[in-house]
Structure 1
Amino acid sequence: MEERRRYDRVGVNYHANNYDCTVEIDGMYYSARLVDISSGGARLKLSDAPAYDTYGMYGKIKDDYYEQPYLQGVYYTVAWHNDYEMGISFTEPLSKKTDALYDYYSASA
């Protein structure tokens, strides 16, 4: 299968706490843990999965529990959803000046 991503992904090894952020989907809030991230999107593991298909829905990262809240307030579209994981595509790519977030999120705990 051909890789379609435009941005390199980085696995997240450092976590803020049990969950890294709170995401909003269709007016509901879910605790989530970052699995990987790129300038264009991220893969999240949710604490509680929505009971319906969220593909194509818009959302917002409500809270970011890291010391540097790079993602708080970022809007996204759900690219895929599978059980307790989902892929999100940021509405606007993260700024190039946030390249430091790759080092930040990939640091060992």
Structure 2
Amino acid sequence: MSETVRIAEGIHWIGVNDFETHLFESLWPIPRGVSYNSYILIDEQVVLIDTVKGPFFSAYLDKIKSLLPAGKKVDYLVVNHMEPDHSGSIKVLKEAFPDMSVVGNEKTMDMLNAFY
């Protein structure tokens, strides 16, 4: 499992660096890979900001669980980035945390319904 990065008290980067994808949008070479940036905010409630590409979900979930205090669950997922390589874990994340509320604008919700 790759590392989490502490940003501040209760805030961690939990994203993934993808060195397996070689083309951005199937067109442009990305010889140094691409990052799927995601963050967790842990306070009275737990908030995730964005997710990662589907094939990296297992490592991503391990990071989340390693940071969750005992008895805590993910309360909210804020969706800023809807491209499937950045939002590909939303469906399985919702299965892992069924009470989690998804936060986004109207277009985000339309796209979630269409994609997943």
Higher relative contact order (CA 8 A, sep 6+): 1
Which structure shows the higher strand fraction?
A: 1
Which structure shows the higher helix fraction?
A: 2
TM-score by length of 1: 0.30
